[in-house]
Amino acid sequence: MRTRPTHRDMISEAVETLGGKCSYTEIRDYIRGRYGAVNKSAITANIIMCTVNHPSRIHYHPNTDPRIANTMYDFLFRIARGAVELYDRERHAQWEIRRRLDGSVVVALVGGREFPPRTVKRRSRAPGGKPRWTMPRREEFLSGIEAYERREQREAVYKIAAFVVARFWGEHAVIADAVTALLVSWNRAFYRFGMFNVATLEACIADNAEQVERFRTRDISSLAYEDEAYIEGLFRKFLEALRIGLGSSRGRKSPVSAAKALHLMAPSFFPIWDSKIAVEYGCQYGSDPMAAYRAFCRVTRDVAEATRGYTGRTDKTLVKLIDEYNYSKFAKGWI
């Protein structure tokens, strides 16, 4: 008589056989078909126990004490309600069970925030830089994306610029031209006072290509504490490179342009913002744009974790879709 594997091993086999990504129901159906009747609740509990970013895993052994998620019980990653994929530290970052000051434990990114993120109730104002946003629901998120695609007239410029960067990455002059084309269109309100020096931008891209490469193939979910110094350094350099070079506004800098340039070069990692979006997320950039952008990257990571699975689209990165939602809701008031 064949000995039935452990719940953990049956779940691992199911996910791998089903292509590395599946729903709880598909896992249970696979196990039932191969091994016979199973306890539905036991399978669900073991899925949760082995999912590195599921906040309820702390209620199951061996997740009741602080530890890094690198054991045999850490092989799933939650991508949506009732759906998981195989955990990959390169794509999903390193997770842990962390002890709070009050003695309780919580699921968290190593060097980052606990999950799920703590959100605040929406207020009519956001005085003193305090956030007034709430985590978007699926219907609202998709509504924002639909409104953006229906009403935003400049998306073609982004698509062309993104294609050029992807096709000609490594050719610094071409990348500088693509960034310039995007900014002249997407931030024309700022550059009507004067333009930046394209040669300076090209030099900045060339000098920092290796550091940008660090983020080009990464997802925002992999953001960790050790990345923040690199992010601040890159943001500062592009903020300087994109300052107005001529005219009465010479020397003016645009945190909006710096973020757009970084996003175009690493579209799955660096988020886009503008002043209205920054205010809504409590990341005003008037006094310290580098610190504000670091904070905005962290909050975008949290939003990405919550909205992953809202749409199965692959033609745009999740970071870009989050920007479309933000732009529709906060910048334009379309939803």
Q: How far is CA 297 from CA 163, 246, 302, 303, in A?
A: 24, 31, 9, 10
Query: For 253-269, what is each residue's pLDDT tens digit?
Result: 999 999 999 999 999 99
In terms of domains, do 225 and 198 share one?
A: yes
CB of 322 within 8 A of CB of 307? yes
List strand residue ranges (DSSP E) for 17-122, in order.
21-23, 67-68, 76-80, 83-86, 95-99, 105-109
Query: For 73-122, what is each residue's pLDDT tens digit?
Result: 999 999 888 899 999 988 888 899 988 777 788 998 887 777 665 543 34
In terms of domains, do 144 and 282 share one?
A: yes
pTM greater than 0.95 (yes/no):
no
- Does the residue 75 lie in any domain? yes
- Does the residue 122 lie in any domain? no
Distance of CA 47 to the CA centre of its chain: 24
Please determine, for residue 313, whether its predicted confidence score (pLDDT) is greater than 90. Answer: no
CB of 175 within 8 A of CB of 205? yes
Strand-by-strand arrangement of the 95-99 sheet: 67-68, 95-99, 105-109
Domain range enclosing 298: 127-331
Mean pLDDT computed over every residue of the chain: 90
CB of 162 within 8 A of CB of 264? yes
- Does the residue 1 lie in any domain? no
Helices 318-326, 138-151: crossing angle, 10 deg rounding: 80
* Number of domains comprising the chain: 2
In terms of domains, do 275 and 192 share one?
A: yes
In degrees, to the nearest 5, what angle opens at C-alpha 129 toward C-alphas 127 and 133?
85
